[in-house]
Structure 1
Amino acid sequence: EEDPQQPLLGPDGAEESDADSRAGQDDEVTPLWAVGRAVLDGELETRFSAASLPFDKFEFYQGQQRVATMKGLVRVIRRQEEARYDLPLSVSQLLQPRRFYVTLYVLRALALMPADVSTSDPYLIVSLGDEKLGSRDEHISNVTDADFYRRFELQTWLPGSSELHIDVFDYDSIGGDDHIGRTTIDVEERAFNREWLALDPKPVESRVLRNSFSKAPQGTLQCWVDVHPHDAPKTKPPLWDITPPPQQHWELRVVVWRTADVVACDEMTSMNDMYALLRCDACDGGKATQETDTHWRCSDGAASFNWRCKWPLELGPKRMLDERLTVQLWDRDLATDDAIGEAVLPLSAFFAQAFRAGSKAHAAAPPQVSGGAKVAAAAPAAATQSAVRAMPMHFTGDDSLGPSSLNLGIRDALRTLWSEASAAESTATAGELHKFWVPVFGGSGQSSQKGEERGWVQLSIEIVPGALASAMPVGFGRSEPNEFPHLPEPVGRFKFSLSPFKTMLGLLGPKVCMRLGCCLCAVFGAFVFGYIFLQMIPVILANLVV
């Protein structure tokens, strides 16, 4: 007695992989073809039950090489059960070949074995019988994970040529192309399989690529196939457009307002010549790393910047691992600058929210995010406040990047309240952008998850659509055009004064000035005491003589 395998589908009619994933789940905007479509973590053949298979396969080998495959049905039953035995395949279906449409959807290839030094230039060749589709001119350069998103439409007669071969080749400009791997789908086994016919929609498979040169897997191909008879057009599945959404042009704008409670690197003066360094590796073009101006002789860890950084940004349906903003505080020195601390802000969820809103073009306006920059009256009609996506005051970090730097409980809430209470007193334009405090950490490894807290920095983050960024341009730092919002000159900066005491206080800091004042008072007192003592020496000597 055969042990039937676990059924392909559960009672709800759909089964997913162990990770409970679905097609397009990594795409923040779920396309129509992915709605309700499961993603399997293996090949579909391994999930068919033995009772659902339309026939058995018998392979013939010459040595170790397979030379033929025979499909048949062999069952041993009792004679009295012959009338009741339900064959999985009608014999009449085998005697009358039918024309079938075969539609293959290839999403992506993952972890391809590099055919060149470290990457490949893969392209697809799909063949079914005498029909072959694909071209080497459609190769993707220098990748190991290729996003194909291709649809192939073929026809065949069943029973007949039923092996659908999907080959992945590596393009070479000189010499022949290298064969990376192949996976084969028996469409005849699908077309006459009751369990497969009951699947709607067909799940995405993760099929292993193999070649004749190695027994090791050469990569994984994510795809699904639809097989439909030609003489039943009314039940033909729809042709899905699996082209991914186009890239969207945005601009990331970050304003560094000020700092608080930053540890002083100069222990003598308890002061810093502080500046902030910001890096966004996910941004395209321009300078990935930008820095503010320097707050010279900053005391009490309270620096003021009012400095804007901006980067061009390309958002697509897939999130990248480096979608984060790194903020570092440094103390400028003559020889080598000292690192004070850093904070890492995960932006994946923030970017995904913006991409979802941008993908709803000409649809209902996305929900308004409070804190978006105001739009000038002369801006185009599309330039509404809801078009600007502002970082909320509280946000949850991306789990793939580790815990968020902002999840600090009561102290974080107190800092937020302090920010809101002092916003009205700030010389900067209030109410236009969310301002939130981010702790910076230093010490062991200069990591935002390790080491000790080294201070706080106040930021505002927003991303603006490309068209709106062109209509509402802003300058770097405090340069023109200084709008949206206007950034005033920072307050509390050191300025030279005609008063030597004020200049000394600004240069040396209150701690050194206090020590210096105490030293001067001690020297002055000693001088006065010595002078008086010297004046009294003759009197003392005269009294001794008398």
Structure 2
Amino acid sequence: MKPYQLATVSCPSLIVECGGEIIQTAVIKTFKKNPNFPGSVLLLKVVLTLSLEEMYTPPIVLKVIDHRPFGRKPVVGQCTIDCLEQFRCDPYRINSEMVMSAKGINTLVFTHVSSLKIQSAVDWWSKFYASLGEQEKCGPYLKKGYDTLQVYNSELEEVPQFQGLTDFCGTFKLQRGKSEDEEDDPTVVGEFKGSFRIYPLSDDPGVPAPPRQFRELPESGPQECLVRIYVVRCIDLQPKDNNGMCDPYIKITLGRKTVDDRDNYKPNTLNPDFGRVFELSCFLPQDKDLKIAVYDYDLLSRDEKVGETVIDLENRLLSRFGAYCGLPQTYCTSGVNQWRHQLKPSQILQNQAKLKGIPPPRIEGDGSSLTFSGRQYSLQDFEANSVNHQHLGPARERLALHVLRNQGLVPEHVETRTLCSSYQPNLSQGRIQMWVDIFPKSLGLPGPPCDITPRKAKKYYLRAIVWNTTDVILDETSITGENMSDIYVKGWMPGMEDDKQKTDVHYRSLDGDGNFNWRFIFGFDYLPAEQLCVVSRKEHFWNLDKTEFRVPPKLIIQIWDNDKFSLDDYLGAIELDLLNLIPPAKSPEKCSLKMIPGMPGSSLTKRPNPNSLFSQKSVRGWWPCMMEQDGKHVLGGKVELTLEIVEEKEMEERPAGKGRDEPNMNPKLDPPNRPDTSFFWFTNPCKTMKFIVWRRFRCIFIVAIILLLVILFFGILFYSLPVC
């Protein structure tokens, strides 16, 4: 409640008017400590005929008055409820029928399992991606038979089957009209929380009164609760920086407590993966509003709010749908799906029976069968086709949980909430995926929190040894008229172009063969569960932080012709997908463009079982390099490679140097056995005369020398003859 006439509201009471009848609650004397009314249920008999036409039904008028000194009782807030249809009920209906079995509430279990053989431990993100249907990111999670969860594309309050989480009590905005001294329009000055049930009474005094409503009510005193806020990620945030990006971080406000997570901002992204868990204590209903805001980090200026969302924790705690902690698919005592509720499933089921006013559940013997609400359930009915694993708990609790999931309660979930700005309240500033668990401390300690820390990339190294090339296009013509190429090989991983590496040059290849024995080493950060490389780099030199990208692991190999006095000539290339590797040929004769998927005559267009280098670890063979000429793909050459994936620890145990540098081992690379004609003519004039000029023009040289000697002989002879 906002202040009235510069004085705070300290002792309020509520007046309810309907059809000329008035009823008033007791006064809340300790408003700051406990804003709940001491008497929760009031009965108002309206002596008139409630018309079936809604427009003729009298409204319910709520007035909050504040009891002030000297008998002053000003009206500090008012609300008029025109539509009463939503409150009509059958008093003989069981209260708990409002918690019906909701269709479609169970999580869809995907049966498709990724065929890639990736050895990686499952985590919470595997569960999240499996629930989204992104099997390529969840690894072997589904194959192990683990649970999935429900990912809602809206706020939990907007899910139709949960009735806005106002099934127990609704929230009514209290307004204050204009006074003589005020020119402002009526504004919201507070909230009233409560609910109404409207039903007819018999005119016959001999007919017993129908059962009273609101029989099972929680305690009216404040409850101290432990609140866990799980912030998974944000989607499509509004840019706040000049580069069209944002540096988001989370700020949480609950009551008088504020958690500022500024130190863990995510640079240069509109779709950050936060994976943050915040744990706060609060008293409900005083601290009912949980505010989750996303801010943009700025170094030199004030941080700007991107948007925020507000969650009413009291509604979630009091809702009969159990929104305070979602129910998982199975009861697990360990692992990524470990039970985190304060009560066991059997205890929650007993509470449900109490709310419905029915006998408590009866569990038979070993817990394989259970009777609840007049129906018998068997564990075999729920787990007939499921995969058993070592994390499952006792059969008794598993069966109770399966029965609970049939009662329409909120399942384990992630909700997607819209972030709004106070300046543009109707325009989305992005979305945040998260969920909240609320644990009353009176029920004991909760289970351990979920670890939703974002996945961290592992360091891997790709060792690529270039052994030889053959059938390389002879792109140049020597000074003596021979077709030749000065061959070298270049390689890099996409996204890491700054780490391009190339071999030395095999000069004057006259038959397209090249010998190198040269090692490339590429270090990269890799997420095995998502099968993507994580690349971080600054987009501009003035950027303070690096931007993170995720790219598939690939290797590009190119063959070039070296030119000293002009640009090098491109002769061919091949792109090797390390997760879907083209099987190499064992000999150069079997190596052709048909090995490349999509090429005419290729037999590898469809491969049901891809070859992953991360599974094979090492492979050696010949791959074709192609180039485009006159709109057609032609063979530019063939390259013999050894590809090997090693982890960081193995790299330390089995070191190797780039090229033929030390430590030259694993394996040791000897200098290539190149022909004598392989040299650069400009820097070796003697070899040029011996291996180029002499070998090609030796006959001409010999004839010229003989001819010169003959001419010299006859010249001396004629010179020696006596003059007549």
TM-score by length of 1: 0.64
Q: Is the 8 A contact 2:470 2:514 kept in 1?
A: yes
Give the alignment partner of residue 219 of structure 1, picking from 406, 425, 430: 430
Where does structure 2 lack aligned partners over 5 or more consecutive residues? Answer: 1-84, 87-98, 111-126, 176-183, 203-207, 329-410, 533-549, 585-594, 605-615, 680-685, 701-724
Give the alignment partner of residue 665 of structure 2, picking from 483, 493, 496: 483
Query: Per the alignment, do residues 330 and 69 of structure 1 end up closer, same or farther by CA in structure 2, a change over 3 Å counting?
Result: farther
Measured after TM superposition, the shift of residue 179 of structure 1 is 0.7
Give the SS at the match of 2:240. coil
Residue in 1 that maps onto 2:148 = 36
Q: Which moved more, 1:484-493 or 1:6-15?
A: 6-15
Residue in 1 that maps onto 2:577 = 346
Give the SS at the match of 2:237. coil
Give the alignment partner of residue 232 of structure 2, picking from 101, 107, 111: 107
Give the SS at the match of 1:49. helix
Give the alignment partner of residue 443 of structure 1, picking from 628, 643, 647: 628
Residue in 2 that maps onto 1:194 = 321
Aligned mates of 1:405, 1:5 — CA distance in 2: 58
Aligned mates of 1:265, 1:6 — CA distance in 2: 75
Measured after TM superposition, the shift of residue 76 of structure 1 is 5.9
Residue in 2 that maps onto 1:468 = 650
Aligned mates of 2:582, 2:483 — CA distance in 1: 34
Q: Is the 8 A contact 1:295 1:305 kept in 2?
A: yes
Q: What letter corresponds to residue 105 of structure 1 in structure 2?
A: Y
Give the SS at the match of 1:238. coil
Aligned mates of 1:124, 1:240 — CA distance in 2: 18
How do 1:350-499 and structure 2 match up within 5 A?
393=583, 433-443=618-628, 451-491=633-673, 493=675, 495=677
Residue in 2 that maps onto 1:185 = 311
Query: Per the alignment, do residues 132 and 24 of structure 1 end up closer, same or farther by CA in structure 2, a change over 3 Å counting?
Result: farther
**2:405 is equivalent to residue 293 of structure 1:** no
Give the SS at the match of 2:501. strand
Measured after TM superposition, the shift of residue 194 of structure 1 is 1.2
Measured after TM superposition, the shift of residue 247 of structure 1 is 4.4
Give the alignment partner of residue 206 of structure 1, picking from 416, 423, 433: 416
Q: What letter corresponds to residue 236 of structure 2 in structure 1?
A: A
Give the SS at the match of 1:231. helix
Aligned mates of 2:473, 2:270 — CA distance in 1: 45
Q: Which moved more, 1:451-460 or 1:323-332?
A: 451-460
**2:157 is equivalent to residue 45 of structure 1:** yes
Give the alignment partner of residue 228 of structure 1, picking from 439, 450, 462: 439
> Which structure's relative contact order is higher, taking Cα pairs within 8 Å and 6+ residues apart?
1
Q: Is the 8 A contact 1:169 1:177 kept in 2?
A: yes
Aligned mates of 1:83, 1:99 — CA distance in 2: 37
Give the alignment partner of residue 157 of structure 1, picking from 265, 270, 283: 283
Give the SS at the match of 1:443. strand
Query: Per the alignment, do residues 500 and 247 of structure 1 end up closer, same or farther by CA in structure 2, a change over 3 Å counting?
Result: closer
Q: Is the 8 A contact 1:281 1:288 kept in 2?
A: no
Q: Is the 8 A contact 1:52 1:195 kept in 2?
A: no
Measured after TM superposition, the shift of residue 327 of structure 1 is 1.6
For residues 416-460 of structure 1, the C-alpha deviation after alignment (integer angstroms, 9 at most, x for no partner) is xxxxxxxxxxxxxxx9941144333332899xxx95554433322
For residues 276-300 of structure 1, the C-alpha deviation after alignment (integer angstroms, 9 at most, x for no partner) is 111125559xx51111122223345
Q: Is the 8 A contact 2:157 2:163 kept in 1?
A: no
Query: Per the alignment, do residues 216 and 271 of structure 1 end up closer, same or farther by CA in structure 2, a change over 3 Å counting?
Result: farther
Give the alignment partner of residue 518 of structure 2, picking from 290, 307, 317: 307
Give the alignment partner of residue 275 of structure 1, picking from 488, 501, 507: 488
**2:466 is equivalent to residue 256 of structure 1:** yes
Give the alignment partner of residue 553 of structure 2, picking from 323, 332, 342: 323
Where does structure 1 lack aligned partners over 5 or more consecutive residues? Answer: 351-390, 395-403, 414-430, 521-546
Aligned mates of 1:97, 1:467 — CA distance in 2: 55
**2:98 is equivalent to residue 98 of structure 1:** no
For residues 392-416 of structure 1, the C-alpha deviation after alignment (integer angstroms, 9 at most, x for no partner) is 958xxxxxxxxx9567697678xxx
For residues 68-88 of structure 1, the C-alpha deviation after alignment (integer angstroms, 9 at most, x for no partner) is 5544445666779x999998x
Measured after TM superposition, the shift of residue 218 of structure 1 is 2.4
Superposed CA RMSD: 4.9
Q: Percent identity?
A: 28
Measured after TM superposition, the shift of residue 178 of structure 1 is 0.8
Q: Is the 8 A contact 1:102 1:156 kept in 2?
A: yes
**2:122 is equivalent to residue 21 of structure 1:** no
Aligned mates of 1:506, 1:113 — CA distance in 2: 73
Q: What letter corresponds to residue 321 of structure 2 in structure 1?
A: R
Residue in 2 that maps onto 1:123 = 249
Q: Is the 8 A contact 2:224 2:442 kept in 1?
A: yes
Query: Per the alignment, do residues 183 and 52 of structure 1 end up closer, same or farther by CA in structure 2, a change over 3 Å counting?
Result: closer
Measured after TM superposition, the shift of residue 101 of structure 1 is 1.8
Query: Per the alignment, do residues 249 and 43 of structure 1 end up closer, same or farther by CA in structure 2, a change over 3 Å counting?
Result: same
TM-score by length of 2: 0.50
Q: What letter corresponds to residue 213 of structure 1 in structure 2?
A: Y
Query: Per the alignment, do residues 83 and 339 of structure 1 end up closer, same or farther by CA in structure 2, a change over 3 Å counting?
Result: farther
Q: Is the 8 A contact 2:465 2:643 kept in 1?
A: yes
Q: Is the 8 A contact 2:484 2:508 kept in 1?
A: yes
Give the SS at the match of 2:521. strand
Q: What letter corresponds to residue 656 of structure 2 in structure 1?
A: V
Give the SS at the match of 1:204. strand
Q: Is the 8 A contact 1:251 1:463 kept in 2?
A: yes
